[in-house]
Structure 1
């Protein structure tokens, strides 16, 4: 799942895509995929492409929030939670630091 999500985000020019291994740190999910965008329009385009590619793979999200505002879209796929941030919001919420014990794997095309 993380590969499909990362590729879909990358296709829409998401920046700084990382996969965080959350296993053993939280019971709610196994992985976070986090990425950044320059504008709210790009945040929504990334989220739309992730949703479209996951639908093609036969996987639907359980929950999505933040789409209308476009500052931070969260998409919950159960084992994977996707966070698409505008850069300023990503820096403010600093999930990578908040969950500092998680192993980070940067996505590379």
Structure 2
């Protein structure tokens, strides 16, 4: 019996978080925050929040992240908000990334919403 080959690479959540953090850092994402929401959020293990310098920067962060995921055959579920670029949400299944314009980040206060979670120290260059 032939085994079915996997379409996507198996990668642990901490390893995926490290990769995504590096990709966002390479493209100068501002104030990258990761919060462990395991047991608090029913749809994800980690929520990431980052700021962008403008709409094109936000779109570039999203494009770069999804492009790298595709290149490395790492599964993701989808994206919302790309057209306006005010708040782009990337759903990587176990990680949800919110890319905000700075004023929207303050207004929606996603970090405050998940304050029960544990902030994760990221190993990025900045």
Is TM > 0.5 for Structure 1 vs Structure 2?
yes
Partner of 1:101: 116
Point out where structure 2 has 5 or more consecutive residues left out of the alignment.
Answer: 1-15
Q: CA RMSD in A?
A: 1.1
- Structure 1 position 56, deviation (Å): 2.1
Partner of 1:34: 49
Alpha-carbon distance in structure 2 between the residues aligned to 1:9 and 1:22: 20
- Structure 1 position 71, deviation (Å): 0.5
Q: Is the strand fraction higher in 1 or 2? A: 1
TM-score of the pair, normalised by structure 1: 0.94
TM-score of the pair, normalised by structure 2: 0.82
Structure 1 segments, 4+ long, off by >4 Å, are: none
Tell me the secondary structure at the aligned position of residue 44 of structure 2: coil
Alpha-carbon distance in structure 1 between the residues aligned to 2:57 and 2:107: 19
Larger radius of gyration: 2
Query: Could you tell me which of 81, 84, 91 is aligned with 1:76?
Result: 91
Give the number of aligned pairs. Answer: 109
